[in-house]
């Protein structure tokens, strides 16, 4: 099985754009549905951000949507009776066949009946009927709980106020706008405020949530499932649990609910994977002519017994898959190329495009990677270029359309100096870098080092850092620790109280553990989590600096590609480390006995086995309350842990001998679940992982809090 596609983010500049795009999209989407990207594209964007942050944890922005429900936007809190899970994806006939074969191996028998349906591009919703009357509408939300949108009852075509039978049941489906409904909605909005909706998907989302618009926009519901209440043992509940999916959908349609049965892409049953693929191709061919949007095809085991036996993974049913359709391509003009310098000095180009609508959003920028990439593609300003997403939200320029050239195209000017500071460029590698490195963006590097999750220097705002840089008092964050009271008092708007407070904060920062100090260095290829692992593995900065690439690869998560980068980075920041040491900044990790020290002590003792015992003593976490445990934290902390940030919680876990992780899996030993723990708690409970409250966890780790 191949993972779902994600936005491939090439560099820090593209990452910043991705975060801003995600934040803006989520804010607009959850406010009034005006987002210019659809739900699938947003999910790919966030997955891309997560992947980039995993590789570059030192660059994580505080506004990142990762780890936040609805990207940080407000969502409801109505629990679902059964989680509304997503689907895993495949992207071609070969992957579909592989998935089907894998499923049949899991079942230890062939799947004899498949259901094939269009994947509707709308907003997933739960419609709860009590004794045949529509009582409540709940959005999907984070899959565990959603937003109550019952105010929309009576305004959605295809979702009747009453079913044909007086039954209690939950129907699930998609709320969307058809092409004609979207056209009407845009006309109404244009008449009201002169604007239009970006696309049917966001228009439907905004309309479903809107309660005070002076105009009403029509929506359409297509059902795709029916669920009895978990504790319901009535005849209907038993039937719905035992019937094949195709018969369940026939029953849904019989209740007066719209399904795709009357459309050109009606759901069918197939008996072979070859028949499934044939229907996939038929639906894909009909896509352009449909009066509503689809973004793929859903293939399921039709028989209830197959579904029950296949079961669920943490995020998706194993008995269903989404066959995603190819992304669109468009041709537009390359107007300009912008060159930007990131915090570590990396210089990256970005294409400025003539605005073009691509897959539901207006595209004006695209990734170009680096100067060598521009040369390989033979791009020129004024070119007509193919722009594609291919699973990406940040579009990419694929190639120029040479036969459309008019002769007016011009070469792309490659910078001869750093676009930020004007100094020379190190072009020895494909990813160009300012020769000043971090010094080029010194204010950004120093602000990062002073941040809460690094040295936590209170009262050191960016404008204060800029003052110090302008006055020549500092060149990097290590220089902060040599500042005198007299120097600070000479700065404008720096009184005695603020000076003393800053000096006290700097003195406290000197005592931060090695993990924080190492993180403050901003070594590429590391970040908060990796910095903690490095510190606990080596124990001292001296040991880290003495390590070769092979030794660094022994750190959990540090592979052969990252290790040489870390070695080179350590050499680059060596002067900063030397200044920190000279200033008396702590260079050890509390509670860690460096392996070299332990081995030397063992060698000094002549007793057989002493060395082995010393090595065991040096093992991080030995004898601590969380020794050997992998711990995940989710939700809002309370009690003694209430004031701790997520990074501080992870530090606490590792001080207690455990390993902090961000995702729940079969290897997770414990989940610390605070208020609104959400899907991680559900997943942990499903896997049999121990779940504790913040108060129970605080008691477990005791005095380490």
* Per-residue pLDDT reduced to its tens digit, 560-582: 888 888 998 899 899 999 999 99
pLDDT (average), residues 20-24 = 82
Q: For residue 603, is pLDDT > 60?
A: no
**Could you confirm whether domain 630-704 is CATH 3.40.470.10?**
no
pLDDT (average), residues 251-278 = 94
Active site members? 119
Pull the structure tokens for residue 248: 């369940």
Confidence (pLDDT) at 608: 38
CA angle 295, 399, 354 (to 5 degrees): 75
Domain definitions of the chain by residue range:
12-74+327-411, 78-324, 438-510, 514-589, 630-704
At the second CATH level, the architecture of 514-589 is: Orthogonal Bundle (1.10)
Mean residue pLDDT of the chain comes to: 84
Say if CB 300 and CB 100 are below 8 A apart. Answer: no
Quick one: how many helices (H) and strands (E) in the chain?
25, 25
Q: Which residue spans within 242-358 are E strands per DSSP?
A: 268-270, 294-301, 320-324, 329-341, 347-358
Q: What percent of the chain has pLDDT over 90?
A: 45
pLDDT (average), residues 348-353 = 92
Name which residue leads in pLDDT, 39 or 522.
Answer: 522
Superfamily, domain 438-510: 5' to 3' exonuclease, C-terminal subdomain (1.10.150.20)
* Per-residue pLDDT reduced to its tens digit, 136-189: 999 988 788 888 999 999 889 999 999 999 999 999 999 999 989 988 888 888
Confidence (pLDDT) at 164: 95
Query: Binning pLDDT at 50, 70 and 90, where does residue 331 land?
Result: confident
Highest mean pLDDT pick, 221-225, 400-404, 469-473: 221-225
Say if CB 22 and CB 56 are below 8 A apart. Answer: no
Superfamily, domain 78-324: DNA ligase/mRNA capping enzyme (3.30.470.30)
Residue indicated by tokens 């061919």? 285
* Per-residue pLDDT reduced to its tens digit, 494-543: 999 999 999 999 999 999 999 999 999 988 778 888 898 899 899 999 99
Q: For residue 465, is pLDDT > 80?
A: yes
CA angle 306, 309, 312 (to 5 degrees): 105
**Residue 263, Cβ neighbours under 10 Å: how many?**
17
* Per-residue pLDDT reduced to its tens digit, 219-246: 999 999 999 988 889 999 999 999 999 9
Instruction: Note the pTM of the prediction, 2 decimals.
Output: 0.46
Domain 12-74+327-411 falls in which CATH fold? OB fold (Dihydrolipoamide Acetyltransferase, E2P) (2.40.50)
Query: Do 78-324 and 630-704 show the same overall fold?
Result: no
Q: φ, ψ for residue 85 (rounded to 5)?
A: -80, 160
- Tell me how far apart the alpha carbons of residues 222 and 244 are, in angstroms, rounded to a whole number: 19
């Amino acid at each position: 099985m191949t993972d779902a596609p994600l936005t491939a983010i090439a560099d820090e500049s593209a990452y910043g754009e991705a975060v801003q795009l995600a934040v803006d999209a989520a804010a607009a989407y959850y406010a009034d549905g005006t987002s210019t990207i659809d739900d699938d594209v947003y999910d790919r964007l966030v997955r891309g951000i997560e992947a980039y942050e995993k590789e570059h944890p030192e660059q994580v922005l505080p506004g990142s949507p990762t780890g936040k429900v609805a990207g940080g936007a407000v969502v409801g809190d109505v629990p679902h009776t059964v989680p509304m899970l997503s689907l895993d994806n495949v992207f071609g006939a070969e992957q579909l066949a592989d998935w089907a074969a894998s499923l049949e191996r899991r079942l230890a028998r062939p799947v004899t009946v498949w259901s094939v349906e269009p994947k509707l591009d709308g907003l997933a919703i739960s419609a709860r009927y009590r004794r045949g009357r529509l009582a409540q509408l709940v959005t999907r939300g984070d899959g565990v709980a959603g937003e109550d949108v019952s105010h929309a009852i009576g305004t959605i075509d295809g979702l009747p106020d009453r079913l044909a039978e007086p039954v209690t049941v939950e129907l699930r489906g998609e709320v969307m706008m058809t092409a004609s409904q979207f056209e009407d909605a845009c006309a109404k909005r244009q008449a009201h405020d002169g604007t239009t909706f970006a696309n049917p998907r966001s228009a439907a989302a905004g309309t479903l949530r809107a309660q005070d618009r002076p105009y009403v926009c029509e929506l359409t519901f297509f059902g795709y499932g029916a669920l009895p209440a978990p504790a319901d043992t009535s005849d209907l509940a038993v039937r719905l649990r035992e019937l094949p999916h195709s018969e369940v959908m026939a029953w849904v349609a019989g209740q007066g609910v719209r399904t795709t049965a009357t459309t050109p892409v009606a759901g069918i049953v197939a008996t072979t994977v070859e028949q499934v693929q044939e229907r996939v191709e038929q639906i894909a061919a009909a896509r352009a002519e449909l009066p509503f949007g689809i973004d793929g095809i859903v293939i399921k085991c039709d028989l209830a017994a197959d579904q029950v036996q296949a079961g669920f993974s943490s995020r998706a049913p194993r008995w269903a898959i989404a066959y995603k359709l190819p992304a669109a391509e468009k041709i537009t003009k390359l107007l300009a190329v912008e060159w930007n310098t990131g915090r570590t000095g990396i210089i990256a180009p970005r294409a400025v495009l003539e605005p073009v609508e691509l897959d539901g959003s207006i595209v004006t920028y695209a990734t170009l990677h680096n100067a060598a990439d521009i040369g390989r593609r033979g791009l020129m300003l004024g070119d007509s270029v193919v722009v594609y997403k291919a699973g990406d939200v940040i579009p990419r320029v694929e190639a120029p359309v040479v036969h459309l050239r008019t002769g007016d195209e011009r070469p792309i000017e490659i910078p001869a100096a750093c676009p930020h500071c004007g100094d020379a460029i190190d072009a020895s590698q494909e990813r160009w870098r300012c020769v000043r490195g971090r010094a080029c963006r010194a204010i950004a590097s120093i602000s990062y080092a002073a941040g809460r999750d690094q040295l936590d220097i209170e009262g050191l705002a960016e404008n204060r850092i800029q003052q110090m840089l302008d006055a020549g008092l500092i060149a990097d964050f290590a220089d902060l620790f040599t500042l005198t009271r007299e120097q600070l008092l000479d700065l404008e708007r720096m009184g005695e109280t603020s000076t003393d407070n800053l000096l006290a904060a700097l003195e406290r920062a000197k005592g931060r553990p090695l993990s924080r100090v190492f993180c403050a260095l901003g070594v590429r290829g590391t970040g908060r989590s990796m910095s903690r692992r490095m510190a606990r593995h080596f124990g001292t900065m001296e040991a880290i600096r003495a390590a070769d690439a092979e030794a660094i690869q022994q750190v959990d998560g540090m592979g052969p590609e990252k290790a040489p980068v870390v070695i080179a980075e350590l050499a680059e920041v060596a002067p900063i480390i030397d200044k920190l040491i000279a200033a008396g900044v702590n260079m050890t990790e509390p509670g860690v006995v460096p392996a070299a020290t332990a081995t030397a002590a063992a060698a000094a003792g002549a007793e057989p086995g002493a060395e082995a015992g010393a090595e065991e003593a040096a093992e991080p976490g030995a004898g601590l309350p969380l020794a050997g445990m992998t711990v995940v934290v989710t939700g809002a902390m309370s009690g003694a842990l209430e004031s701790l940030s997520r990074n501080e919680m992870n530090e606490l876990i590792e001080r207690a001998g455990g390993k902090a992780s961000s995702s729940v899996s079969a290897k997770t030993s414990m989940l610390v679940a605070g208020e609104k723990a959400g899907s991680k708690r559900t997943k942990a409970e499903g896997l049999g992982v121990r779940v504790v409250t913040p108060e129970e966890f605080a008691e477990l780790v005791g005095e380490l809090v």
